[in-house]
Amino acid sequence: MPQIDDLDPRTPIVVGVGQASELLDSPDYRRRSPVDLAADAARDALADTGADPETVAAAIDTVAGTRQFENSFPGARAPLGRSDNFPRSVAGRIGADPRRAVLEVAGGQSPQHLVNEFAATIAAGEAEVVLLAGSEAISTIEKYAKDDDRPDFSEHVDGTLEDRGLGLRGLMSRHHAAHGLTDAPSQYALFDNARRARLKLSRDEYATAIGELFAPFTRVAAANPHAAAPTERTAAELVTPTAVNRPIADPYTRYVVARDKVNQGAAVLIMSVAAARRLGVPTDRWVFLPGHADLRERDLMERADLSASPASVLATRHALEVAGIGFDELAHLDLYSCFPAPVFNIADAFGLSPDDPRGLTVTGGLPFFGGAGNNYSMHAIASMVERVRRAPGSYGFVGANGGMMSKYSVGIYTTTPSPWTAGNSAALQAEVDAWPAPEEARHADGWATIETYTVKHSRDGRRTGIVVGRLEADNRRFLALTDDLSLLDTAEPIGQRVYVQSSGKGNRVAASEAAFPPPGPAVLKDRYEHILVRRDGHLLEVTINRPEARNSLHPMANDELDHAFSAFFADDDLWVAILTGAGDKAFSAGNDLIYSASGKPMWVPKNGFAGLTSRRSMPKPVIAAVNGFAMGGGFEIALACHLVVADATAKFALSEVKVGLIAGAGGVVRLPRTVPPKLANEMILTGRRLTADEALAHGLVNRVTEAGAALDGARALAADILDSSPTSVRISLQVMEETRGIPDVVDAVTHHSSAFDDLMVSEDAIEGLTAFAQKRRPRWRNR
């Protein structure tokens, strides 16, 4: 290792750390805001440098902050208000005026990732003095959210902000939400249960192992003045369910999951060696980062093994390799401990036991020190810097985990003079991304086996079973819910044979196929709640009957339309269908956004919006009679129909971009295949509206009628179709569908279809030729 005097002046070093905290029941509790807590920690970090705090603060050229929970999820609320520029608010409190301010993506990896990133930025000469800060005041916010005397934490700060967004891509999805994976405990429980089964441990044995893993953490937390829960507990206390230690998600009780009700802040100050010398920072405050790595695991359903996170292990090995040391040379460890799984993951890989004399945490861990949102590892880094300073020449390890054991950032810390060494995380990430992944079945049906599972426990005693399984037919992986909790209450659910069935509400598993009675015959009901149906000979008319909501569709209306159209396609005596909307204002305004924003359960039938947009087989003609607006999903319904009749008042638009959505029910696919590409692009990207006449000119509409006459026009078009052979109509649609994907015209023309053979032996074909020869109207029988 080089001597300090031999270091490159741009070598990055940590020179100051600080932590701040307050408990609700403390005599010095002051209702500090997240900005205040971070600023308190930043002041301590400035003082920790051993140099003049004001001089160091004036030299800060970059400030980067971690996100609070209230700014980490779509739709998250800040009940007491928040700063619109958190990093600059913190900087302003300490007298700094940085040229650059950054708000990092969400995730527990973010503090260590920021250290790694800005150490590299300093080494590249693109910054000299960087302040990293973060905080949470969740205890205060929850206590005063509904109080008349609540504080106001709102702040407006001028200046630029590099807001990197939430960074949740691949971590949250509608499919996960539909199957109960909306909370961290249920997600991580899948990993721990998979690990338990891999190790062939019983439920009780694994609970004991969790307790033994975390009991030493409580001792560290009990001695930490910043801990949110400074209480030493035995292994048995941690995992024994009680009124205050209720089950959260099997195998977790409340004591062994991250504690988010905290008021904590932490800050880390990094600068170049040249800046440290110029600002008068004593060398005994200098801490180096000889090893570092940042990797992202495959998304949940793409992981070959749900019992481990090999990317986290790879990141750890790489950071050690960059530092030029082995794991045994580490004197201090902090393994991210939001749940047992991330700790076990590293411990398994490197042969660590819960009673390792080094300890597995320097703070007390997230369940006991506190899971300060995305900022926990800033506290771990601060504590680690203090540890290695007290033991000069020793090495400390901080592993920071984010997402669903998804993102892992590693830092190695030491006072030993160490040059900055660029890592190779990018190449390793390419390797991770190339790992083979199981194929997923979004709609799963058939016999399967349970791969892992959990049971979520609500405060009111309700339980929800969540299963990850593999289909026996093709080994595809799927997510599912189950109402049969006896499946998951057995000694070992994993490996158990189950039956899975899909629906618009998602996948469900049960002990046998008999648990899913076959659906009744697809027969039209006499009455529906949200639609009207009318039979007129071989014609079916379906009316969306929600005029008060501009005929927008919520899940229940979608289900009724799906049922009606399934009955239509199954009924041999119905040959043509017309879909229209009640009233004269709108055919359909699309998705019912008011219902969607209500927080009530959302689903769409497997056959798609209105039971049409994802329906694979539409063997009989469906005509849209568009009266008024066909907006967003309403236009997508019309695009899915074979024919469209519009009245003169009709307007067509894919308006989803205007409300932050996309035309995901087929609009972005069907429209570019229907109209000229440039027009499709404009409509999709701007929400441009087309009049009925414009839609007719561009081939979106077959006929335009006078105002209020769309249904009559559709009936006239239906009569023209009904005058033809229903067998010929059906087979024409079939052949068009079969040849749609054949690009060569001659190949498409010569494509052999059994439909032609069916046509030639049909009674309708014989009747048509006979009636022509006899100069009479044919009597079609649809066979």
C-alpha gyration radius of the chain: 32
CB 580, CB 627: distance < 8 Å: yes
Backbone angles phi, psi at 103, to 5 degrees: -115, 115
Report the Cα 766 to chain-centroid distance in Å: 57
**Two structure tokens written together for 139:** 């205890």
Active-site hit among 117, 656, 706, 737: 656
Task: Calculate the alpha carbon distances from 561 to 77, 646, 667 in Å.
Answer: 36, 20, 19
Locate all alpha helices (DSSP H) within 310-467, ordered by sequence: 310-323, 340-350, 376-390, 425-433
Q: Any idea what DSSP says for residue 763?
A: H
Distance CA 664, CA 680 (A): 14
Distance CA 338, CA 376 (A): 9
Distance CA 323, CA 262 (A): 34
Half-sphere exposure of 253 (CA within 13 A, CB side): 19
**Two structure tokens written together for 753:** 């279809």
Distance CA 447, CA 386 (A): 56
Map tokens 């005599």 to a residue: 27
The residues, any chain, with a CB within 8 Å of residue 724's CB and separated by 6 or more, are 780
Half-sphere exposure of 198 (CA within 13 A, CB side): 15
Q: Any idea what DSSP says for residue 774?
A: T
**Two structure tokens written together for 64:** 């980067």
Q: Any idea what DSSP says for residue 324?
A: T
Distance CA 538, CA 573 (A): 6
Distance CA 707, CA 625 (A): 12
Distance CA 755, CA 252 (A): 58
CB 565, CB 542: distance < 8 Å: yes
Q: Residue 478's closest CA among 488, 468, 487? A: 468
Distance CA 637, CA 632 (A): 9
Task: State the chain's maximal CA–CA distance in angstroms.
Answer: 110
Active-site hit among 636, 706, 738, 763: 636
CB 197, CB 137: distance < 8 Å: no
Give catalytic status of residue 142 as yes or no: no
The residues, any chain, with a CB within 8 Å of residue 679's CB and separated by 6 or more, are 698
Distance CA 446, CA 480 (A): 12
Give catalytic status of residue 636 as yes or no: yes
Residues with catalytic function: 636, 656
